Structure 1
Amino acid sequence: MKASSRAIVLAAVTVLSWSTVATAFKITLASMGVREMISVSVFSAFVVHAVWMTLSRSWGELSRLSAKMWLKFALLGLIAPVSYYFVLFEAYDHLPAQIAQPINYTWPIILSVLIAVIDRRPVSASGYAAMAVSLAGVALISLGGGVDGAISLTGIALAFASALLWALYWIVNDSLKSSVSETTSLFLTFFFGTIYLAAMSLLRPLGPIASDGLLAGCYIGIFEMGLPFICFGIALRTTDNPALVNQLCYLAPFLSLFFVALFVGETIMPSTYIGLILIVGGIICNRYLTARNRLQHT
């Protein structure tokens, strides 16, 4: 198989994996608590990344890391997976999946704002317009009339907080890219995440975990936190068209609605589809405008 074709296959695996996890979150939360869910899933992901470290022969890289780098990864592991997934799972516990997932998907917009603030680079008027389109989509989904019951404001705040945490994760992670491979970076974040969660479970023991909950948690660890990150990274490194690989990932939230309707039983509102189109459209426009501005200033 040609490298370009293999990259598309790996990107497709990534999209299919991420499109199922909103459904897995809701199903798993019905049978176990957030702490139990995150503990099982993060440990499962840690095992996946440890196996990949072995297959990619990356263990030797750990011995070359400075103490300062270890401390940075300790911070990264606290941001994600620990804080990010705690907040994200709580958001799903408070909201229908069709609302929690699109709001969480606004993280690229938040990332753009944070980078502009950190780099002290003003955002263009067109950039603000693109962000406004995405936020209009969020408002439409949140107000969305038709979803049974009142929408939890706490859940909406948690979903936005998860997007903020994920944006912060990528800022810190990006600062480490020149010093360590992506394989080692992912392993270390889940290594520290596992340590933090193990320490928390010693202070406050986990509740009972049924066998079906254990399997569901392992599924989340493998297909949300493990395999898709590995596949996506390989796809980007081996493709001759990275823009296409990135754009394929925008299919995930739309496929996710199909699985949520099929397996969770949520009736997907028209406002959800329209709002998600606005969110993704704003993100794509913002990325295009950002890339164009960078070219103009080089």
Structure 2
Amino acid sequence: MQADRLKNRQALLYGLAAVLLWSTVATAFKLALRELDVLQLVAYSVCFSTLALFLMLWRQGRLALLAQYARATPGYFLLMGLVNPCLYYLVLLRAYDLLPAQQAQAINYTWAISLAVLAVPLLGHKLQRRDLLALAMGYCGVLVIATRGQVLELQFDSIEG
């Protein structure tokens, strides 16, 4: 019982730390975009994420496994690398370049909502009524932020963003 409480507390602390660190992303991106253009920032992001992946695999002693998978399905690895981080960061950083940070961050948070929606046709998941309510509330919240509270006017800072 005590071990469960400790694990729950540790999970809560990790979750809070992730939220705290993630909440600084908008500011970090806006500051970085003052000095670099979107493509430069994407290049740095790809390099650092690749380095982080290699370091984690090296530490776990699994680099040989990565090489084995990459040789077996090189096209898959290339495609996944183009989608994330390349395509993801291109879209994300372009939004941060065009929009106020708080708007871009709110839109970025909708990726989890989008994954839930995509799970329906791609994985055959069924959405419950509460899921649909949560989806609607999430997108409505983003709409409020994107329109600066003027929801009925539907005026956006940048349609492209």
| TM-score normalized with structure 1 length | 0.45
* Superimposed CA distance per residue, residues 229-284 of structure 1 (whole angstroms, 9 cap, x where no aligned partner): xxxxxxxxxxxxxxxxxxxxxxxxxxxxxxxxxxxxxxxxxxxxxxxxxxxxxxxx
Matched, 1:62 2:66: yes
**RMSD between aligned residues:** 2.6
Larger RCO of the pair (alpha carbons < 8 Å, separation 6+): 1
Q: Does residue 72 in structure 1 map to residue 76 in structure 2?
A: yes
Asked whether 1:141 is paired with 2:157, we answer no
Q: Which of 143, 146, 152 lines up with 2:158 in the alignment?
A: 152
1:99 aligns with 2:103: yes
Mapping of 1:105-116 within 5 angstroms?
A: 105-116=109-120
Aligned CA distance change for structure 1 residues 6 and 123 (closer, same or farther; 3 Å):
closer
Question: How does 1:23-34 map onto structure 2 within 5 Å?
Answer: 23-34=27-38
* Equivalent residues of 2:70, 2:77 under 8 A apart: no
Distance 2:34 2:91 in 1: 17
4+ long deviations beyond 6 Å: none
In the other structure, the counterpart of 1:180 is none
Indicate which of 39, 44, 50 corresponds to 2:48.
Answer: 44
Q: CA deviation at 1:77?
A: 0.7
**Cα distance, 1:7 vs structure 2:** 5.0
* Cα offset, 1:98, TM superposition: 0.6
**1:121/1:52 CA distance change after superposition, 3 Å:** closer
Q: Percent of pairs identical after alignment? A: 34
Matched residues in 2 for 1:51 and 1:127: separation? 37
* 3-state DSSP of counterpart to 2:73: helix
SS at match of 1:28: helix
**What TM-score do you get using the length of structure 2 for normalisation?**
0.79
Q: In structure 2, what is the Cα distance between the partners aligned to 1:152 and 1:99?
A: 10
How many positions carry a matched residue from both structures?
Answer: 152
